Amino acid sequence: MPEDFADSRRFTGALCELRLAQYLLENRYWAFSPVINHDSPIDIVAVGQDGEILLLDSKADNKRVNTARSKPSRIYRPRSQLQKKLGVRIAYVESDGTVSIIDHED
């Protein structure tokens, strides 16, 4: 395993980005990754065939059971102020490859 992937979070993050890119390609988007991704507010830029542009930050979809509940709920990840300003959307990627792109109201 390469040195960069010694940290399981980096491996999980890279896998989420690849699964998100696969999802986008399957749904007829072109998917682009930033040249320099270190601390970038955007993981993938997607362009639809109709010209729609999506700026996406991929996150592993994790769930937890809150007190007084029996059903797990998603752990929502907040966007940074810069992501909000740029219109970046969070794309939650489950381990089976299922993707949920969140429509933010703020």
Instruction: Give me the residue spans of the domains in the chain.
Output: 3-96
Sheet holding 53-60, edge to edge: 29-32, 44-48, 53-60, 89-93, 99-101
Tell me the per-residue pLDDT of 50-75, one tens digit each, with 9 for 90 and over.
Answer: 999 999 999 987 766 667 777 776 67
Tell me the per-residue pLDDT of 20-32, one tens digit each, with 9 for 90 and over.
Answer: 999 999 999 999 9
pLDDT at residue 101 tops 90:
yes
Whose structure tokens read 């109201």?
105
Q: Considering the chain, what is the average pLDDT of its residues?
A: 85
pLDDT at residue 7 tops 50:
yes
DSSP assignment string, 62-88: -EEPPTT-SS-EE-PPPPPHHHHHHT-
Task: Between 16 and 8, name the one with better pLDDT.
Answer: 16
> In the predicted model, what is the mean pLDDT of residues 9-13?
78
> In the predicted model, what is the mean pLDDT of residues 15-21?
94
The whole model's pTM is what?
Answer: 0.80
The tokens for 71 are: 């059903």
